[in-house]
Amino acid sequence: MSTIRYKSVLEARSHKPLYFEDKEKKSQYFANKVFNTNAMRQFLPVEALNAVAEAISTGTKIDRKIAHSTAAAMKQWAISKGATHYTHWFQPLTGTTAEKHDAFFDIMPDGSAIEQFDGGQLVQQEPDASSFPHGGIRNTFEARGYTAWDPTSPAFILGSTLCIPTVFVSYTGEALDNKTPLLRALNILDEAATQVVQYFDKSVKKVNATLGWEQEYFLLDASLAASRPDISQAGRALLGHASAKGQQLDDHYFGSIPARVFQFMRELEYESILLGIPVKTRHNEVAPNQFELAPVFEEVNLAVDHNSLLMDVMEKVAEKHNLKVLFHEKPFAGVNGSGKHNNWSLATDTGTNLLSPGTTPTKNLQFLTFFINTIKAVHDHEELLRASVASAGNDYRLGASEAPPSIISVFIGKQLTQVLDELEKVTAGKLSPQEKTDLKLNVVGKIPEILQDNTDRNRTSPFAFTGNKFEFRAVGSTANCAKPMTVLNTIVANQLIQFKKEVDKLIDKKGLKKDEAIFNTLREYIKASKKIRFEGDGYSEAWQKEATKRKLSNNKTTPDAIKIQIAPETIKLYEKLGVMNATEINARQEIELEEYVKRLQIESRVLGDIARNHVIPTAIRYQNVLIKNVKGLKDIYQEDYKSLASEQMKLIEAISNHMSAINTGITAMINARKVANKLELNARAEDYTHTIKPYFETIRYHCDKLELLVEDKLWPLSKSRELLFFR
Ligand code: ADP
Ligand code: MG
- Between the CA of 366 and the centroid of ligand 2 the distance, in Å, is 25
CATH of domain 187-237+248-580: 3.30.590.10
SS3 210: strand
Range from 12-16, 395-399, 593-597 carrying the lowest mean pLDDT: 12-16
- Is the minimum distance from the CB of 214 to ligand 1 under 6 angstroms? yes
Pick the CATH number of 31-176 from 3.10.20.70, 3.30.450.90, 3.40.50.150, 1.10.240.10: 3.10.20.70
pLDDT tens profile 145-164? 788 889 889 999 998 999 99
**CA pair distance 436, 443, nearest whole angstrom:** 10
- Between the CA of 528 and the centroid of ligand 2 the distance, in Å, is 28
Whose alpha carbon is nearest atom 13 of ligand 1?
212
Task: Give the pairing type, strands 161-170 and 85-89.
Answer: parallel
- Is the minimum distance from the CB of 441 to ligand 1 under 6 angstroms? no
Whose alpha carbon is nearest atom 17 of ligand 1?
212
DSSP letter assigned to residue 325: E
Q: Specify the ligand 1 atom closest to the Cα of 281.
A: 7
List the Cα angle 493/494/500 in 5-degree steps: 85
Reported confidence tier of residue 64, pLDDT bands at 50, 70, 90: confident
- Is the minimum distance from the CB of 340 to ligand 1 under 6 angstroms? no
Range from 68-82, 155-169, 450-464 carrying the lowest mean pLDDT: 450-464
Q: Length of the chain, please?
A: 727
Reported confidence tier of residue 5, pLDDT bands at 50, 70, 90: low
**CA pair distance 467, 474, nearest whole angstrom:** 19
Reported confidence tier of residue 256, pLDDT bands at 50, 70, 90: low
Of the ligands numbered here, which is closest to the C-alpha atom of 279?
1
**CA pair distance 454, 467, nearest whole angstrom:** 5
pLDDT of 477 reads 97
pLDDT surpasses 90 at 173: no
- Is the minimum distance from the CB of 367 to ligand 1 under 6 angstroms? no
Q: Please report, rounded to a whole number, the percentage of residues in the chain having pLDDT higher than 90.
A: 68
SS3 676: helix
Cα 502 to chain centroid distance, Å, stands at 34
For residue 35, which of 84, 83, 101 has the smallest C-alpha distance?
Answer: 83
- Is the minimum distance from the CB of 714 to ligand 1 under 6 angstroms? no
pLDDT of 141 reads 46
Whose alpha carbon is nearest atom 2 of ligand 1?
455
- What would the DSSP string read from start to end of 14-34? S-----S-TTS-HHHHTTTTB
- What would the DSSP string read from start to end of 125-188? E----TTS--TTHHHHS-S-EEEEE-TTS--EEETTEEEEEEEEEETTS-B-BSHHHHHHHHHH
Contact at 8 Å (CB) between 225 and 330?
A: no
pLDDT tens profile 295-306? 999 999 999 999
- Is the minimum distance from the CB of 464 to ligand 1 under 6 angstroms? no
**CA pair distance 611, 603, nearest whole angstrom:** 12
pLDDT tens profile 49-59? 998 888 887 77
Reported confidence tier of residue 582, pLDDT bands at 50, 70, 90: very high
Cα 164 to chain centroid distance, Å, stands at 22
Q: Specify the ligand 1 atom closest to the Cα of 297.
A: 16
Contact at 8 Å (CB) between 159 and 8?
A: yes
Contact at 8 Å (CB) between 527 and 428?
A: no
pLDDT of 101 reads 75
- Threshold 0.85, pTM exceeds: yes
Tell me which amino acid residue 602 is.
Answer: I
Average pLDDT, the chain: 90
Q: Specify the ligand 1 atom closest to the Cα of 353.
A: 23
SS3 509: helix
- Between the CA of 149 and the centroid of ligand 1 the distance, in Å, is 29
The CATH 3.10.20.70 domain(s) of the chain lie at 31-176
Distances (CA, A) of 627 to 612, 631, 694, 708, 711: 21, 6, 34, 18, 14
- What would the DSSP string read from start to end of 630-654? HHHHHHHHGGGHHHHTHHHHHHHHH
pLDDT surpasses 50 at 2: no
- Is the minimum distance from the CB of 212 to ligand 1 under 6 angstroms? yes
What mean pLDDT comes out for the span 242-260? 70
pLDDT surpasses 90 at 259: no
The CATH 1.20.120.1560 domain(s) of the chain lie at 595-723
Contact at 8 Å (CB) between 5 and 80?
A: yes
**Ligand 1 binding pocket mutation candidate from 189, 210, 213, 214 (most atoms within 8 A of CB):** 214
Range from 10-14, 242-246, 420-424, 704-708 carrying the lowest mean pLDDT: 10-14
- Is the minimum distance from the CB of 199 to ligand 1 under 6 angstroms? no
pLDDT of 498 reads 98
pLDDT surpasses 90 at 456: no
pLDDT of 13 reads 52
Reported confidence tier of residue 250, pLDDT bands at 50, 70, 90: low
Whose alpha carbon is nearest atom 1 of ligand 1?
214
pLDDT of 378 reads 98
Contact at 8 Å (CB) between 385 and 488?
A: yes
Q: Specify the ligand 1 atom closest to the Cα of 355.
A: 23
Of the ligands numbered here, which is closest to the C-alpha atom of 294?
1
Task: Give the pairing type, strands 298-299 and 323-326.
Answer: unpaired
Whose alpha carbon is nearest atom 23 of ligand 1?
345
- Is the minimum distance from the CB of 211 to ligand 1 under 6 angstroms? yes
- H helix or E strand, kind and range, residue 342: strand 340-348
Of the ligands numbered here, which is closest to the C-alpha atom of 403?
2
Packing angle, helices 582-610 and 568-577, rounded to 10: 120
Evaluated on CA atoms 636, 638, 639, 642, the torsion sign reads positive
**Torsion (CA) 476, 403, 211, 290 in degrees, nearest 10:** -70
pLDDT of 1 reads 39
pLDDT tens profile 285-294? 777 889 999 9
For residue 516, which of 425, 429, 437, 443 has the smallest C-alpha distance?
Answer: 429
- Is the minimum distance from the CB of 348 to ligand 1 under 6 angstroms? no
pLDDT of 155 reads 95
DSSP letter assigned to residue 533: B
Tell me which amino acid residue 130 is.
Answer: S
pLDDT tens profile 598-637? 999 999 999 999 999 999 999 999 999 999 999 999 999 9
What mean pLDDT comes out for the span 248-262? 70
For residue 95, which of 312, 353, 404 has the smallest C-alpha distance?
Answer: 312
SS3 470: strand
- Between the CA of 144 and the centroid of ligand 2 the distance, in Å, is 41
Task: Give the pairing type, strands 145-149 and 207-221.
Answer: unpaired
- Is the minimum distance from the CB of 468 to ligand 1 under 6 angstroms? yes
**CA pair distance 190, 15, nearest whole angstrom:** 45
For residue 120, which of 177, 70, 168 has the smallest C-alpha distance?
Answer: 70
Which residues are within 8 A (CB) of 93 and not within 5 positions of it... i.e. 6 or more apart? 132, 133, 134, 135, 176, 177, 178, 588, 591
- Is the minimum distance from the CB of 343 to ligand 1 under 6 angstroms? yes
Range from 77-81, 430-434, 444-448 carrying the lowest mean pLDDT: 444-448
Of the ligands numbered here, which is closest to the C-alpha atom of 297?
1
pLDDT tens profile 693-708? 999 999 999 999 999 9
The CATH 3.30.590.10 domain(s) of the chain lie at 187-237+248-580
Of the ligands numbered here, which is closest to the C-alpha atom of 469?
1
Whether domain 595-723 has CATH 1.20.120.1560: yes
- Is the minimum distance from the CB of 344 to ligand 1 under 6 angstroms? yes
What mean pLDDT comes out for the span 115-143? 71
Which residues are within 8 A (CB) of 19 and not within 5 positions of it... i.e. 6 or more apart? 6, 7, 8, 9, 270
pLDDT surpasses 80 at 454: no
For residue 277, which of 253, 255, 296 has the smallest C-alpha distance?
Answer: 296
**CA pair distance 481, 618, nearest whole angstrom:** 43
Contact at 8 Å (CB) between 340 and 303?
A: no
Whose alpha carbon is nearest atom 11 of ligand 1?
212
Of the ligands numbered here, which is closest to the C-alpha atom of 341?
2
The CA R_g of the chain, rounded to the nearest whole Å, is 29
